[in-house]
Structures are given as C-alpha cells and as structure tokens.
Structure 1
Amino acid sequence: MAPSLVAVDQLTVDVITDNVSDTYASKPPFAVSELANIMQAGAQEISGTTLLVANLGYGLRLTTRQGSKEHVLLFDTGTEGAAFLRNCRNLALDLGTVEEVAITHGHWDHMGALEAAVGAIVARRGQGNVTVNVNPGMFNERGVLLQNGTIFPAARVPTPAQLEAWGARVSNDGDARLLLDGHFYYSGEIPRVTSFETGREDHLCRRDNSEEWRPDPYLMDERMLVVNVRDLGLIVFSACSHAGIVNVCTEVRRLFPDIPIHAVMAACISAA
C-alpha cells in the first residue's frame, strides 16, 4: 500500500463536530480558532447562535491538494444532524464539495448525523455522487452492560440500504482501500497487538433481536485514516481509538515503514 499513497502538498482539517468548544482552550500556532473561523465565515457578532455546538462525537472535513488536484472527504459526522448542519452553516462549509465519507466505526456518536450529512451533500451534488465507506461489522446492534447488570442499548446506526435510499453510493467492505486518487488510506481491521490495550469490558453487541448479547470489547469494526503530507509525513486520523492508539500507530508504522508519523488526531485517545 505504501507506494500508492500519494504525498499531497497540502491538508486542511475543518473540525465540524467535537466534544468541546475551543473558545477558552489553548491552541497550537497552526490551528485557527473557532471564533476566527466564524468571523471568516461572515458572523457579525459573538452570540450563542453564531458559535459552534459542542456535542459527543466527532466529524471532520478533510481537504487535500496535490498539484492542481483537490479532494474533499468527510471523516465521521458526529451525534446528530441539527448540530452538524448548524456548525457547517456557521463555518460556511460547502458540503457540496464532499466527494466521499469515511466512517470509523458503528457507534451512534459518529454516525448519528450521517442522514443529515448525506442529505445535504446529495442536495448539492445529486443522487449517487457521494460514496460512504463502511464495513459489515459496523451494523451490529450495540449495548453497554451497566454495573447493576442492565443492558442499555445504543441507538442503531444507518444501514447500507438506508444510505442508498438517501442517495449515497455505499462501499461496504472489510478490506483496506485507497480513496480519491490515493490521497487517503482507509484501513482494514486494526490488529490488537499490545497487552495493555484491552478494550471495553462493558461493551456488548448482537446482530439483531434474535440473538443473545455477546461481549464485544475490541470493536473490531473500527478503522483509521492516513494522509501523507509532503515534507512532513503521515497524519493519522482515529476517532474513539477503541483499538487503542498504540495499536493504531503500530499498524501505521507496519504499513508505511519508510514514512515518519508527523501527527495523530483523534476524538479521544484511548490505550484501554
């Protein structure tokens, strides 16, 4: 895979959905603040309606440029459509530029806004002009085992059939693949190789209501995304890192042994 991953000249990351607002958070020099972004998008004042909504989950718009060629990919969507669409509006992000969507794993806080996102993209691009990348393991029913023994189910995520009905093409495959002229590497299953990243013991799954719940600590449907930026190296995108961030980075080093990891960006970095 490594020779086929293009070294792009530029990568821009727009944070659409995140767990926190950055208004009072310290920021690295290369990051543009939320306030600066909404001002650039045309906000005339600081108010509750012009700022962004923080919510559980994660959603990024990734834009790459290599020579004169530009590609735009959506990396997860976050929890729910209203917050996602409001943040896109306040940031003046044109969802019509999104060519593909890469989903990390089948949890509602990363796919909950997918219907709204696909709808907005299709409204601009037309039916069948956006591809959603998933794998079959993402569509199990999920639940959490509480300390009192109660199983608390999680909201079901959109199925491939629903995505197609909303106007998306669906790439539902467990294998790794290169996306958009090789600008993005979308992984296959991430090997669990460390002894200390043991997953979530409270996590359960089942295919449907006809099955009994079974342990699912490792969430093997989780995927990562990698971009190679010229003169910098690899930018690794994870989400909840249920695989464990050390496992994620170990797999990236195995796949691309000759390219340094420059940065890792994730919603929450877990080693357990």
Structure 2
Amino acid sequence: MRTVDKLTIRFLVDNSIEWFTKLPPGFTHELPYHIQEHHLEIDKETNIPVINFDNFCCGAHGFSALIEAEIAGDSSRLILFDTGPDNTSLVRNIKAMHVPLQNIERVVISHWHADHSGGLLSFLKLRSQHSAESCVVDTHPDRPYARGIAPGPLYDKIIARLPPDPTFEEIEAAGGVVEKHDKGHFVAGDMVYVSGEIPRVTSFEQAGLLGAKRFVPGTGWKDEPSIMDERFAAVDVAGKGLVIFSACSHAGIVNVVKDAVATFSRPVIGGLHLAGDSMAPRIQPTVEWLSKSLRPSPAFILPMHCTGFVAKVSLEQALGEGVVPAGVGIKVEIVGDRDMTSDLPRLVFARCCRRRAEI
C-alpha cells in the first residue's frame, strides 16, 4: 500500500449529528465547514450567512464515509465507503456537503446489510447525472437472498427481515461496474486497502452476531452469526499511521485489529460491535485490550453508527480524549509528515457498534 500525504474524510451518513462538542485539531463540524467554504447564502438585509436547515445533513440508521486519499504531486482519489440505509439520506447529504460526485471512482460496500447498501442505487443514479463514466462497485460475492433479525434471549423467532440488498443486475443497470472480491486488494492507485474475509481468532468474539438469520431459497431460514462477507478498508498516512474504516465488526473488533496487524505489521482499529445486552460481556475485555494490550495505543477512536451508550462510556473512561464523538457532516483532515517516525500511535476510527436486534 502506498503511503499518502493527506487523508480527508467526510461522514455522509451516520445515526448521530454532532454540532457542539469540542473536537481535536483536523476535525471540523458541519456548520463551520460550510462557513469556511462559503456554502451559505448571505442574507441581503443583515449581510450575515443564513443557516438553512434544508441544506444540512440529516441523520439515519446507517453509515457512509467519503474517503479522499492524496499523494503529493499526484491527483487525489475518492472512494465512497458504504451508502447508508435508504434512497434519501445519502443523496440529501451529498448535496449538503457539496461532494464532487464526478470524482468518486469506486464504492466499497463493507457487507450485505441494508443500512450499508440501501443508498447504493440512488447514489449511482445521482452520479450518472454528473459523470458519463461508470463507477466501480466493490462487493463481496456472497450476496444473501435475505437476512433477518431474531432477538434474544432465545434468538429463535424472526421478528423482521431487512430490505433486500441491490442485486448485481440492478447495480449494473444503475451505472455501476460490479467487482466481486473476497480477498484483500488495493484500490485508488494502491492508496486504499480493502480487506478480504476477516479471520475469527479471538475467544470472546466467537459468538458473532447472535440472532442473525439468513434465508436460503428452498431451504428456509438458518443461523448466520458469522457474517463472513464483512470487510474493512485502510489508508496509511505518512508519519501518522494507519486509519481503518471498519464495517460493524460482526467479526469482532479484536479480530479486525489482529487481521490488520497480520497484514501490515502495525495496529489499526475499526468498528466495535458492542451494543445490546448480548454484547455486554464483551465490552470490558475489548476495552481492556484496546487500552492496555494494543501497542502503540490508538490516537483516536470514533464510535459512530449504532454504538451503544455503555460502550462509549467505557471507552471514554479508559482512553479519555482519545474517544472523539463524531457524526454525519463532520469533516476530518489528516495531514501526513514523511519526516516523522512510523512508530507513532496510530490514528483510529471506530466506526460502528452493532446492536443485538438492529442488524
């Protein structure tokens, strides 16, 4: 993987909107971002920018992040990681954040759950209005026919199924070029790594996503706690280390870290998957591993999407200001320094923690 000189992230879909909490350097709330970029209309009478809430991001149960990687002397490359849950939130927020649609060359779908793939077709259709070039859609080949939710304590009664993920045919018809990958590979001029299936090696994460069900035509519903189609993405910033964008860590966040270490010989972190009653026993060993065993320690963890309150509090107690509240509309800029040692603590984005009954 090529080391980048600058990484810019724009969070385009998330459950939370965070406007007021103090953020570290390099993080920008949505309102000051729009003011700095002169996106706001100026009131003619007072000559002051107007906050038009119709033109700001909305929250939704899902996730999408725009990843922009750049090497000095080379053009930047834009990758969209996940597309949120529906046909409206990502489209609205792309417009709100003034995203250059024509420059997005690839969509990476972390895994086949509708809160990550639901906005894909509407995104492709919107992008086709701005660019005649096709957009690559990077997916795991094992697309399920349907997935459902069975809450505890017995996890035996399916109460609902998720909306269907876009089919490969629908993706192609909307202007996407499907690439199916179950192995790790490099994209965006080798500046972004997309993982393969994540090995499950940590004892307290072996249970996976309890209550996860998969429908097989001709057979019916079956247990599927492993969610093996889940993948993460990673970018290496000069002098700052690796930033990983995890899916929901159905594999377990420690398994994600161990896979990254095995791949790159350095620690990275993504989503935590610690919310809900069934995940409660994993919170303490996970927090202890992240705060006491992982070295170098993570510089930042961003618990987003459906992170549980208890997990957030536990992380903040262990890592203090290293746990950054983030949400949709926030922009993050990480500027590399090739003169800095590569042994500095790694920047970390802990993206989402899955609730037991909210796949």
TM-score, scaled relative to structure 2: 0.70
- Indicate if the aligned counterparts of 1:38 and 1:50 stay in contact, CA closer than 8 A: no
Shift of 1:64: 0.8
Q: Larger relative CO (CA 8 A, sep 6+): 1 or 2?
A: 2
Shift of 1:270: 6.1
1:177-196 equivalences under 5 Å are 177-196=185-204
Q: CA offsets per residue over residues 211-257 of structure 1, 9 Å max, x none?
A: 21111111110000011111111111112111111111110000011
> Structure 1 residue 89 and structure 2 residue 173: aligned?
no
- Indicate if the aligned counterparts of 1:19 and 1:267 stay in contact, CA closer than 8 A: no
Measure the CA separation in 2 of the matches of 1:229 and 1:263: 9
User: Which residue is 1:201 aligned to?
Assistant: 210
1:222-233 equivalences under 5 Å are 222-233=230-241
> Structure 1 residue 219 and structure 2 residue 215: aligned?
no
> Structure 1 residue 69 and structure 2 residue 78: aligned?
no
Measure the CA separation in 2 of the matches of 1:46 and 1:267: 28
User: Which residue is 1:43 aligned to?
Assistant: 40
| AA at the equivalent of 1:206 | F
- Indicate if the aligned counterparts of 1:164 and 1:170 stay in contact, CA closer than 8 A: yes
TM-score, scaled relative to structure 1: 0.91
- Indicate if the aligned counterparts of 1:199 and 1:217 stay in contact, CA closer than 8 A: yes
Residue segments in structure 2 that go unaligned for 5+ positions in a row: 42-49, 267-341
Shift of 1:137: 2.1
Measure the CA separation in 1 of the matches of 2:130 and 2:51: 29
> Structure 1 residue 53 and structure 2 residue 58: aligned?
yes
Q: Give every structure 1 segment of 4 or more consecutive aligned residues whose post-TM-superposition deviation is greater than 3 Å.
A: 258-261, 269-272
Equivalent pairs, count: 266
- Indicate if the aligned counterparts of 1:190 and 1:220 stay in contact, CA closer than 8 A: yes
| AA at the equivalent of 2:21 | A
- Indicate if the aligned counterparts of 1:196 and 1:271 stay in contact, CA closer than 8 A: no
Shift of 1:41: 5.4
1:1-272 equivalences under 5 Å are 5-39=1-35, 40=37, 42-44=39-41, 45-67=50-72, 68-127=74-133, 129-147=134-152, 149-197=157-205, 198-208=207-217, 210-257=218-265, 262-269=346-353
SS, match of residue 263 in structure 1: coil
Measure the CA separation in 1 of the matches of 2:34 and 2:148: 37
| Structure-2 change in CA distance of 1:211 and 1:242 (3 Å) | same
Shift of 1:81: 2.3
- Is the strand fraction higher in 1 or 2? 1
Measure the CA separation in 2 of the matches of 1:171 and 1:155: 22
SS, match of residue 170 in structure 1: strand
Residue segments in structure 1 that go unaligned for 5+ positions in a row: none
Largest Rg, 1 or 2:
2
Q: CA offsets per residue over residues 95-146 of structure 1, 9 Å max, x none?
A: 111001111000110011101111122222225x210000122334100114
- Indicate if the aligned counterparts of 1:245 and 1:271 stay in contact, CA closer than 8 A: no
